[in-house]
């Protein structure tokens, strides 16, 4: 059984043979040989699975592999064991070894674990968005509660609606529409950094972000 693994600052993406994907968490059956086929999209990382006493480098533009057969059910930590930048310490997750029948059931009902919103939240945290946009952040970035569909005041006097296309452009080019209020805009551009499918999941999460329904102006 071959699972495709992509490492990048600062997250792991796992793709099952049947198409399901996970961010920072991995579900696998016990009693079956598993091969992880690994590559990096940026710098050198290293996937470390203490439960099976194995680690292997994740290299840019080159695939590496590790294979094992787990024999014990349980949930264990996984890490990046190669220093890869500022948020190296948060690049980790869990691997869950399951009985084969439970694994097949997980595959069938994977939406309960990795629905669009759940996958979007994982990306929101993996890309570091939560550090700035969560309530109480010292950065004081615009809040996401009630943002989708609200009217947003811009520095040039215009007012726009925060629909899917505007959110997409704002993530890819944060300086394209500067917000009213005179605050310094420090969000980096994600153009070329986030794949299109992950951008869609991130927007799905923003659309469903729980909150009081305040507009972006009130949340700023």
85 and 18 within one domain: yes
Together in a domain, 138 and 167: yes
The predicted pLDDT at position 83 comes to 94
Q: Which helix (H) or strand (E) holds 165?
A: helix 164-172
Q: What is the mean pLDDT of residues 196-217?
A: 71
User: Does one domain contain both 109 and 19?
Assistant: yes
The number of domains in the chain is 2
More confident call, 44 vs 122: 44
Residue 218's pLDDT band (boundaries 50, 70, 90)? very low
Residues 159 and 121 in one domain: yes
| Section 97-122 average pLDDT | 78
Last residue of a domain, one of 114, 132, 161: 114
Do 7 and 109 lie in a common domain?
yes
Contact predicate 210/124, CB 8 Å: no
Tell me the pLDDT band of 141, cut-offs 50, 70 and 90. Answer: confident
Are residues 208 and 123 part of one domain? yes
9 contacts 87 by C-beta, under 8 angstroms: yes
pLDDT number for residue 214: 39
- Roughly how many angstroms between the first and final C-alpha of the chain, as a whole number? 48
Domain that holds residue 187: 117-219
More confident residue, 143 or 100: 100
Which tokens is 97 given? 């070894």
Same domain for 131 and 212: yes
Q: What is the pTM of this model?
A: 0.59
Residue 11 · residue 100 · CB < 8 Å: no
Please tell me the least confidently modeled range out of 21-35, 127-141, 190-204.
127-141
Give yes or no for a contact between 40 and 59, defined as CB atoms under 8 angstroms apart.
Answer: yes
Check whether residue 41 and residue 10 sit in a common domain: yes
Which of residues 206 and 217 earns the better pLDDT score? 206
* Predicted confidence (pLDDT) at residue 220 exceeds the cutoff of 80: no
Tell me the CATH number at 95.
Answer: 2.60.40.420
Give the end of a domain, one of 114, 131, 152: 114
Classify 197 as helix, strand or coil.
helix
């Amino acid at each position: 059984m071959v699972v495709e693994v992509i490492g990048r600052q600062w997250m792991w993406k796992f793709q099952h043979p049947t198409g399901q994907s996970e961010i920072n968490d991995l579900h696998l059956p016990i009693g079956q040989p598993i091969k992880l086929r690994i590559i990096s999209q940026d710098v050198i990382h290293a996937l470390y699975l203490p439960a099976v006493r194995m680690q292997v480098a994740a290299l840019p533009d080159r695939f590496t592999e590790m294979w094992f057969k787990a024999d014990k059910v349980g949930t264990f930590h996984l890490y990046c064991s190669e220093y890869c930048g500022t948020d190296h310490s948060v690049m980790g997750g869990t691997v869950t070894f399951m009985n084969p029948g439970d694994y097949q059931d997980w595959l069938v009902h994977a939406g309960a674990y990795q629905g669009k919103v759940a996958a979007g939240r994982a990306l929101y945290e993996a890309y570091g968005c939560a550090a700035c946009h969560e309530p109480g952040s010292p950065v004081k970035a615009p809040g996401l509660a009630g943002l989708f569909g609200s009217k947003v005041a811009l520095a040039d006097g215009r007012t726009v609606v925060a629909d899917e296309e505007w959110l997409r452009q704002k993530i890819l080019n944060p300086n394209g529409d500067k917000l009213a209020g005179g605050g310094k805009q420090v969000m980096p551009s994600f153009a070329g950094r986030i794949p299109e499918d992950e951008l869609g999941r991130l927007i799905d999460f923003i659309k469903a972000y729980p909150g009081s329904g305040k507009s972006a102006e009130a949340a700023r």
